[in-house]
């Protein structure tokens, strides 16, 4: 792994808990339970690797359509994690943030979410975004609604709307877009995770089920990232010319 070309922002679709459990004749819940342990390990590993922003897909809006007992058990695990992890995150100087429509959760869970965010708000080594009740299309929709409200109040001309306005009202606004998106569990799809924000993100798909994913698998994904040439529409020759003028750090600055 090259220290000078680390992804600043890594996003992960943590998939494969259910199949991990099924393979072992265990209930799906066991896969999720084990998945939470792996989540903690990967947060720690990312902080150790000095990744600045980690964005995890924990629960999608579509996941509400799973059997009620599975949804309930996911909510129990989620509440426990929120309650117990803030201290650990503080130890590692990690700031916690949630993206997604948290208003769908019970008010007591919303309060716990708020408290955990407050508790970690001064931390600055890494930002951890957890996507819960999130959907990429919903994210864009609610941004468009904000913009439409301004247009309705004549505060904004439709022709003056920019991509920047859409970004500014979407989740993760103000942050660099993900450099690397990892999906575990073998599926090669986005399942309505960040859509707007990953226009130029490098995609890495791993067949490993999330409960088996380790720090060394994360490093492998970063190794893959470091082999990619991020051209952002330019030619390879343009990038190399730029590199020879400004040195090896220039590639990371292309965005
Ligand atoms: C990911 O694992 C966890 C959530 C979606 C909450 P899955 O539960 O989707 O596991 P598989 O895909 O069925 O194996
Ligand atoms: C995506 O996984 C959501 C999360 C990992 C939280 P899913 O397991 O829900 O995705 P699909 O249904 O296989 O596309
Ligand atoms: Mg799945």
Q: Look at residue 4 in the predicted model and tell me its pLDDT.
A: 87
**Nearest ligand to the CA atom of 58:** 2
> Ligand 1: residues whose CB is within 6 Å?
14-19, 59, 63, 74, 185
- In the reported structure, the alpha carbon of residue 227 is separated from the centroid of ligand 3 by a whole-number distance in angstroms of 28
- In the reported structure, the alpha carbon of residue 29 is separated from the centroid of ligand 1 by a whole-number distance in angstroms of 10
pTM, whole model, 2 decimals? 0.95
CA–CA separation, 246 and 88 (whole Å): 40
Q: Which of 12, 14, 19 to mutate to test the pocket of ligand 1 (most atoms within 8 A of CB)?
A: 19
Tell me whether residue 63 is one of the annotated catalytic residues. yes
Tell me whether residue 129 is one of the annotated catalytic residues. no
Closest atom of ligand 1 to 209 CA is 14
Q: Look at residue 248 in the predicted model and tell me its pLDDT.
A: 55
- In the reported structure, the alpha carbon of residue 15 is separated from the centroid of ligand 1 by a whole-number distance in angstroms of 5
CA–CA separation, 170 and 125 (whole Å): 23
Q: Look at residue 253 in the predicted model and tell me its pLDDT.
A: 47
Q: Which of 63, 64, 66, 190 to mutate to test the pocket of ligand 2 (most atoms within 8 A of CB)?
A: 63
Q: Which residues contact 78 (CB under 8 A, 6 or more apart)?
A: 58, 59, 109, 132
Q: Per DSSP, what are the bridge partners of residue 202?
A: 180
CA–CA separation, 206 and 86 (whole Å): 29
* Segment (H or E) for 132: strand 126-134
Q: Look at residue 138 in the predicted model and tell me its pLDDT.
A: 98
Regarding the beta carbon of 73 and ligand 2, being less than 6 Å apart is answered: no
Whose CA is closest to atom 12 on ligand 2? 191
Q: Which of 21, 28, 31 to mutate to test the pocket of ligand 1 (most atoms within 8 A of CB)?
A: 31
Provide the pairing of β-strand 53-60 with 94-99.
Answer: unpaired
Q: Look at residue 247 in the predicted model and tell me its pLDDT.
A: 58
Whose CA is closest to atom 13 on ligand 2? 191
Regarding the beta carbon of 15 and ligand 2, being less than 6 Å apart is answered: yes
Tokens representing 67? 């059997």
CA–CA separation, 252 and 176 (whole Å): 12
Q: Look at residue 1 in the predicted model and tell me its pLDDT.
A: 87
Strands (E), 32-191: 53-60, 94-99, 126-134, 180-183
**Nearest ligand to the CA atom of 57:** 2
Question: What are the residue ranges in the chain where pLDDT is below 50?
Answer: 252-255
Regarding the beta carbon of 191 and ligand 2, being less than 6 Å apart is answered: yes
Of the residues 63, 92, 192, 242, which is catalytic?
Answer: 63
């Amino acid at each position: 792994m090259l220290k000078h070309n680390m992804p600043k922002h890594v996003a992960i679709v943590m998939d494969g808990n259910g199949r991990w459990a099924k393979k072992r004749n265990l209930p799906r819940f066991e896969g999720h339970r084990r998945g939470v342990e792996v989540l903690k390990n990967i947060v720690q590993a990312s902080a150790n690797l000095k990744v600045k922003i980690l964005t995890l897909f924990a629960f999608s809006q579509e996941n509400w359509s799973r059997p009620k007992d599975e949804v309930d058990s996911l909510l129990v695990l989620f509440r426990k994690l929120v309650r117990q992890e803030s201290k650990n995150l503080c130890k590692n100087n990690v700031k916690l943030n949630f993206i997604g429509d948290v208003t769908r959760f019970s008010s007591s869970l919303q309060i716990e979410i708020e408290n955990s965010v407050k508790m970690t708000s001064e931390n600055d080594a890494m930002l951890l975004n957890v996507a819960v009740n999130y959907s990429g299309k919903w994210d864009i929709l609610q941004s468009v609604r904000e913009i439409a409200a301004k247009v309705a109040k004549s505060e904004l001309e439709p022709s003056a709307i920019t991509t920047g306005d859409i970004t500014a009202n979407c989740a993760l606004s103000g942050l660099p877009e993900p450099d690397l998106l990892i999906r575990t569990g073998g599926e090669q799809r986005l399942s309505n995770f960040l859509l707007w924000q990953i226009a130029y993100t490098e995609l890495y798909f791993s067949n490993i089920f999330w409960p088996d994913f380790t720090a060394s698998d994360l490093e492998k994904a970063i190794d893959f990232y470091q082999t990619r040439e991020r051209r952002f529409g330019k030619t390879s020759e343009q990038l190399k010319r730029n590199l020879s003028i400004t040195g090896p750090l220039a590639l990371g600055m292309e965005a």
